[in-house]
Every structure is written in C-alpha cells, then in structure tokens.
Amino acid sequence: MTDEKMIQTAINTIRTLSMDAVQQAKSGHPGTPMALAPLVYTIWNRVMRFDPQDPIWPNRDRFVLSNGHASMLLWSVLHLTRTQAVNAEYESLGHPSVSLEDIRHFRQLNSKAPGHPEYHWVSGVETTTGPLGQGIATSVGMGIAEKWLANRYNRPDFEIFNYNVYAVCGDGCLMEGVGSEAASLAGHLGLDNLCWIYDNNHITIEGQTRITFTEDVEARFLAYGWNVLRVGDANDIERIEHALDIFHKTKDRPTFIVLDSHIGYGSPNRQDTAAAHGEPLGDDEIRLAKKFYGWPEDAKFLVPDGVYDHFTAGVGARGAKARQQWTERFAAYRAKYSDCATEIEQMQRRELPTGWDRDLPVFPADPKGIAGRDASGKVLNVLAQNIPWFLGVSADLGPSNKTTLTFKGAGDLEADNPTGKNLHFGIREHAMAATVNGLSLSKLRAFGATFFIFSDYARPAIRLSALMELPTIFIFTHDAMGDGEDGPTHQPVEHLASLRAIPGLVTLRPGDANEVVEAYRYIMQLRHQPAVLVLSRQPLPTLDRSKYAPASGVARGAYVLADASRGNPEVILIASGSEVSLAIEAHEKLVGEGIRSRVVSMPSWDIFEHQTQEYQDRVLPPEVTARVAVEQASTFGWERYIGRSGRMIGMKTFGASAPLKELQRKFGFEPNRVVTAAKELLGRN
C-alpha cells in the first residue's frame, strides 16, 4: 500500500469505526467524527508528542475534544494508537485503554467507550467534555499551567516543560459564553501554547447555524488577540498540518484555526444535514458511505491490516522518542536540580511536600473574632509558601475574598510573569472554574474564588470537577446574609443545598477561624475530590477551645462542640458557619435553665456521611429526637438530621436589603429563637 493510500485507510478506519459504533449502540453522533477524522488523524499521527505507552507522561501534548459528542473520534484514535490504560495510582495496567470490544459496546454499561469523553474513566482522555464550551475553557487552564511549569522548572540547559494544548470545538462551544470568557483571557495572556481548531460546519441540532449564529467568529478571535487561520477543506491534511505548523511558529498569541467541514462527510443522503449530528445513519446509508470511502460495504468494526502499525510508526514512534529523550533529560536534571525534580515528581502524584502544614495559624479565643475570609487569607498565604505549586485565582474579587497571596515573591501571573501565584480572572466566574480544573488536570494545586452567590456562574465546572474526581478548590466568601445591605441578589439561599447535592464534592462551611484552618488541613490532603469552602464576610467569634472541643473535629464533618454535663443531652443544636457561635449562645442559656443541651458543629455533611455509623450515632444519638438545626440557608435537606420532629431555623424565602443585625432579627437568627425552639420541643415553655 502506498503511503497516501495508508493514510486514507487510517482516516477511513476512524470514520467507519465511528459509524459502526453509533449504529450498534443505536445512539450517538456519527457525522462529526466522519468529518473530523482527517483532522484528528493529522494532529495525532503527524504532530502530537504523545506516547501511547505512557499516556500520563508529564510533558505530553494535550488533546481536548471539546465537542464531546464526537467522542468516537477519541475512542477510535485511542484504540488505533493502542494507548495503554493507567489507574488512579498512576500505574500502567498492561492493557489497552480502549479495546475494540469497548468500541463494539460504545455507550453501554462499563464500556471504556462511553457516550462522552470521561477523564477518570478512560486513560488518554485529558478532560471530561460534553457540556459544550467546557473543554475549550479547561484547555486555557492547561495552557496557563504549561507556562507556569515551564517558567518555574525549565533551566537554560533543560527544557522540562514545553508541551502544547490542542482543543477541537464546534459551533456549540463557540456559542457558549464560557468559551468566549476563556478565549478572551487566553488572548490577554498570549498563550502561544494553545491551539483551538473550530469545526466550522454550519450545523447544530436544530439545523443551519444561520438561524442563530451569524456573527463573524474570525473577527471576534482577532479582536481577542488570537492568530486566526483558515483551512477551507477539512479533508486536506497537508493544509491542516501547515496550519498547525504556523501555530508552532506563532509567538505570544494563541492560535485559532477555522476548519471548514461537512458534517457526515461521505454519506450521500446525510452530509451537511442536522440529521448527521445525532442519529445513527442506518444500515443502508452506512453501506453507501462505505462505498464512497472505497470500504468493504458489509464489513463492520474493521481495522484493516497495517492500520495499527501505521499509528505505531507515526505517533507511537514520535512519542516514544520524545518521552525517552525527556526521561534522559529529566535524569540529568534531577542530578543537577534535585529539589525541582522532587517537586515535579511529588506534584505528578498529587502528593504534598514535607512541611506543607507548618506554621499554620492557631487563633486564640476572641469574642470579637475574625471573619472566615480573613482567617482563610492567612492560611492561604502560609500554604502557598509551603507548597510551591499551590496557586489561585479570584474573579476580580481578590480583595473581598481575601484570596490574594501577599507574601514576598508571590507575584501576579501575567503574560510577562507566568510564575506569578496570583491569577487574575476578571469577571469570568465560569471560565475561572473551568480553568482551575485545567490547572488541576495539569497537577497544579489550584483554587478559584468569588462570592458564594456567584458560584451559580461557576457551577457547571464545579460539577465537572466532581465528576472528574479532581482536587480543585473553590473558595466562596460572603456566605449568607453577611453583606446585608447588598440585598437578596447577593445573599445565597439555596446554594449550600445545591452544592451538597453534587456527588463527591466536599462542601465545608467552617464556624470559626480555627475551623477554617482545619478545613484547609482536610482539603489539602484530598487527592481525588474537589472541595468548596464557604466563608463568612463578617467576623465570627473565635471559640475558646479550652472550654469547647478542639476544631480538629472538622475532619469528621461534624463533632460535639459543647455538651451536656455527663454527655447525655436531651436536646441537640446543630449549626454550621456563622450559626455555630449563635448555637453556643443558645446552649449556654439552655444550660443556665437546667436543660441538657448539646451543640454539634457541622461544617460538612459530605464528610460526616462518610464516617462510621457508630461515630454518627455518637454525635447524633438516635434516641435524642429533640433537635434544632440553624443555618442561614435553605432548609432543604435538613430533615435528614433533625428528623420529623425536629426544628429548622433557616431560609424559606429570599433575603432582604438591610444591615445584618436587622436581617438576623427578621429571619430569626438569634439565640432566643433557638432557645424557644428547643424548649418547645421539650415541652418546657
């Protein structure tokens, strides 16, 4: 077979595997893989430095399929390159990441070829995609991470990090706001390691894009400061390669390649129609398309002789060589710069450096206290000095979130200072969260911050961090009615409940400064779970820990903070965040009246639910049914802890614009309300 013929065969293998898999599954998206097979072939087999034998090699080029519905592109190429599977402990499992059997079982339970690319489920997937726009936004984080890593670790004689990030996207990704936010920032930062390829096929689900999307996309990207290129024929792999070559040579700007394509290319009755997007072609149409490709019409899931070897000779050989050279370089680097090498290795395994928690503050008892956000700011500044690769972002609220790293040398991350530890995001919460995921995927330890109310603007990416099992950290301040005068637009109500509902996400709302410290201590040790830290704007009393239980109880999600003498309570007060000190006040009053009360500080439902039943029952003895929970948030879900007979002092409406004290009175967040509720439950009024 000539080279030319082999290339076409390899491309058509991607196409036909995609068509067959969708047909077999009776669901999926055949048209885009048929159109983009030449692009994916070119990026992978001609350009990318990726070693299928070691899909987590730190300096590999990254490939993001932001139009995740075209997942068969990825399953085909991971299969044909014989990319190896790796587990969560970063060990190679000795079998392929995606087998032909998996492809035959596309979209079926347990298949390694699920409906959309899933990061922690299939090795070789760099980020989970499917919600349109997320992939490209996340790729910006990957680009920032590469810059940061290169600038911190490269030495004149050692290029340890010099990888590129390729992201493929469709009309949907570019319509979504998150894509625009991220593109704007990438242009501002001049990320010349980032290349987006836009599948300009004029088709989305409802038909031609002209019904909704008539803007000049190229002009938009030019305005963002990107280098914009166009390849007029998605089948012209020489032109595609040429455009990618220009990307490699372009400095100080990201590259945007507009690729004109035909969805369902080769299908005589489906090409260029919306039907090609999300419906199986049907057996007859598949035959016609296969005929068009010069493929055996009745063959299914066919990988012709020579195709695997063709990928081995292309990406396989190039990746193996690049990785081997890198490994040798890294060994020499280790000999010369052992501290840096150790950092890189620890980071790759998501370990923490020794001494990561030294000098964490201990806050003395203080009735006036300190705001959660201020305590957090102090902790962050210690952690970021102890952990070199710990860094963060706020979406233009750094001074309010108190997330700015102020120690000497922290610096601002800008195009001309890529090792700064303070990233600035502007007012782009959604892209910030996706980008922080991209930093996490690149093994940096990263946080993003905004007001709790605007977690709504970041939520899709928070959800993905949980789905991907990434240790991303979200810091949300102004957690309730603390910024009273700003009014109900700024007062979160349903946010805690909605974040608690995300599987795998650890939500923590600490009750005083020492609980903030312990919350960070817990969060920093997570390797495969994201965390949300919900912090107060206003000062909270720092509890006297010689009188009450130590704040280390935070690590168990909920703990007995204050107890009835002899430990047999008749009523339990449960609280989080700013309501913990309120519960303590109520407790003291109840005790003064001879009522055996217990206070449970409950910063995290998620953590508590992972404790043994025995511990949970010790904290909340089932026989004590008189329970009052108090939290400045939606009451939704609290029944699980207060039971049918308990009382909840929470929010059932939106808040209001007024000074905090008045709001506390209006909405019942006062010790006497708690006392009254407790006494009513006990029939002691």
Residues that bind ligand TPP (CB under 6 A): 32, 67, 69-70, 130-132, 170-173, 176, 199, 201, 203-205, 263, 277
CA 603 – CA 558 distance, rounded (Å): 6
CA 513 – CA 373 distance, rounded (Å): 9
Number of residues located near Mg ion, criterion CB under 5 A: 4
End-to-end CA distance of the chain: give it in Å, rounded: 92
Residue nearest to Mg ion (CB): 171
Alpha-carbon separation of residue 341 from 102, 323, 332, 417, 539 (angstroms): 37, 16, 10, 22, 42
- Closest contact distance (angstroms) between CB of 427 and Mg ion is 29
CA 255 – CA 648 distance, rounded (Å): 54
Q: Which residue has the tokens 């009014």?
A: 487
SS3 sequence of 642-662: HCCCCEEEEECCCCCCCCHHH
- Closest contact distance (angstroms) between CB of 284 and ligand TPP is 22
| Residue of 171, 192, 483, 579 interacting with Mg ion (CB under 5 A) | 171
Residue 69 interface partner, choices Mg ion, ligand TPP, none, CB cut-off 5-8 Å depending on type: ligand TPP
| Residue of 55, 58, 170, 319 interacting with Mg ion (CB under 5 A) | 170
Residue nearest to ligand TPP (CB): 170
Give the residue from 160, 88, 527 showing the smallest Cα distance to 344: 160
- Closest contact distance (angstroms) between CB of 106 and ligand TPP is 17
Q: Which amino acid is at 441?
A: L
- Closest contact distance (angstroms) between CB of 69 and ligand TPP is 5
CA 610 to chain centre: 22
- Closest contact distance (angstroms) between CB of 111 and Mg ion is 26
Q: Which is nearer to ligand TPP, 203 or 379 (CB)?
A: 203
Whether 518 is a known active-site residue: answer no
Q: Which is nearer to ligand TPP, 70 or 237 (CB)?
A: 70
CA 60 – CA 45 distance, rounded (Å): 14
Q: Which is nearer to Mg ion, 171 or 279 (CB)?
A: 171
Say if residues 537 and 478 touch (Cβ distance below 8 Å).
Answer: yes
CB neighbours of 111 closer than 8 A, spacing ≥ 6? 102, 105
Q: Among 429, 515, 518, 579, which one carries the catalytic annotation?
A: 429
Candidates 106-114, 170-178, 546-554, 632-640 — which segment interacts with Mg ion by CB under 5 A?
Answer: 170-178
CA 79 – CA 59 distance, rounded (Å): 21
CA 17 – CA 34 distance, rounded (Å): 10
Residue 579 interface partner, choices ligand TPP, Mg ion, none, CB cut-off 5-8 Å depending on type: none
Q: Which is nearer to ligand TPP, 15 or 69 (CB)?
A: 69
CA 528 – CA 183 distance, rounded (Å): 28
Alpha-carbon separation of residue 149 from 30, 58, 82, 152, 251 (angstroms): 38, 10, 29, 5, 18
Candidates 80-88, 163-171, 351-359, 413-421 — which segment interacts with Mg ion by CB under 5 A?
Answer: 163-171
Residue 59 interface partner, choices Mg ion, ligand TPP, none, CB cut-off 5-8 Å depending on type: none
CA 65 – CA 139 distance, rounded (Å): 10
Q: Which residue has the tokens 């997320």?
A: 134
Residue 135 interface partner, choices ligand TPP, Mg ion, none, CB cut-off 5-8 Å depending on type: none
Residue 277 interface partner, choices ligand TPP, Mg ion, none, CB cut-off 5-8 Å depending on type: ligand TPP
CB neighbours of 182 closer than 8 A, spacing ≥ 6? 133, 136, 137, 139, 140, 428, 431, 434, 435
Candidates 12-20, 200-208, 483-491, 497-505 — which segment interacts with Mg ion by CB under 5 A?
Answer: 200-208
CA 317 – CA 325 distance, rounded (Å): 12
- Judged on CB neighbours under 10 Å (0-12, 13-18, 19+), 456 is middle
Q: Which is nearer to ligand TPP, 115 or 557 (CB)?
A: 115
Q: Which is nearer to ligand TPP, 172 or 420 (CB)?
A: 172
- Closest contact distance (angstroms) between CB of 115 and ligand TPP is 10
CA 124 – CA 74 distance, rounded (Å): 9
Which one-letter DSSP state was computed for residue 1? -
CA 585 – CA 669 distance, rounded (Å): 12
CA 255 to chain centre: 24
Q: Which is nearer to ligand TPP, 22 or 203 (CB)?
A: 203
Candidates 23-31, 202-210, 230-238, 603-611 — which segment interacts with Mg ion by CB under 5 A?
Answer: 202-210
Q: Which is nearer to ligand TPP, 173 or 413 (CB)?
A: 173
Which one-letter DSSP state was computed for residue 299? -
- Closest contact distance (angstroms) between CB of 550 and Mg ion is 57
Q: Which two tokens stand for residue 195?
A: 């290349």
203 binds Mg ion (CB under 5 A): yes
- Closest contact distance (angstroms) between CB of 98 and Mg ion is 25
201 binds Mg ion (CB under 5 A): yes
Residue 516 interface partner, choices Mg ion, ligand TPP, none, CB cut-off 5-8 Å depending on type: none
Alpha-carbon separation of residue 329 from 49, 159, 337, 525 (angstroms): 16, 8, 12, 31
Residue 483 interface partner, choices ligand TPP, Mg ion, none, CB cut-off 5-8 Å depending on type: none
272 binds Mg ion (CB under 5 A): no
Candidates 33-41, 116-124, 193-201, 610-618 — which segment interacts with Mg ion by CB under 5 A?
Answer: 193-201
Count the Cβ atoms, other than its own, within 10 Å of residue 80.
25
Residue 32 interface partner, choices ligand TPP, Mg ion, none, CB cut-off 5-8 Å depending on type: ligand TPP
Residues pairing with 154 in the sheet: none
- Closest contact distance (angstroms) between CB of 184 and Mg ion is 22
Residue 117 interface partner, choices Mg ion, ligand TPP, none, CB cut-off 5-8 Å depending on type: none
Q: Which is nearer to ligand TPP, 32 or 180 (CB)?
A: 32
Q: Which two tokens stand for residue 658?
A: 């007024």
- Report the SS3 class of residue 582: helix
Q: Residue length, the chain?
A: 685
- Closest contact distance (angstroms) between CB of 50 and ligand TPP is 24
CA 461 – CA 432 distance, rounded (Å): 9
Residue 205 interface partner, choices ligand TPP, Mg ion, none, CB cut-off 5-8 Å depending on type: ligand TPP
Q: Which is nearer to ligand TPP, 36 or 649 (CB)?
A: 36
Q: Which is nearer to Mg ion, 38 or 484 (CB)?
A: 38
Residue 130 interface partner, choices ligand TPP, Mg ion, none, CB cut-off 5-8 Å depending on type: ligand TPP
Q: Which two tokens stand for residue 314?
A: 């292309």
Say if residues 680 and 647 touch (Cβ distance below 8 Å).
Answer: yes
Candidates 164-172, 243-251, 426-434, 654-662 — which segment interacts with Mg ion by CB under 5 A?
Answer: 164-172
- Closest contact distance (angstroms) between CB of 529 and Mg ion is 35
Which residues sit at the interface with Mg ion, rule CB under 5 A? 170-171, 201, 203
Catalytic residues: 429
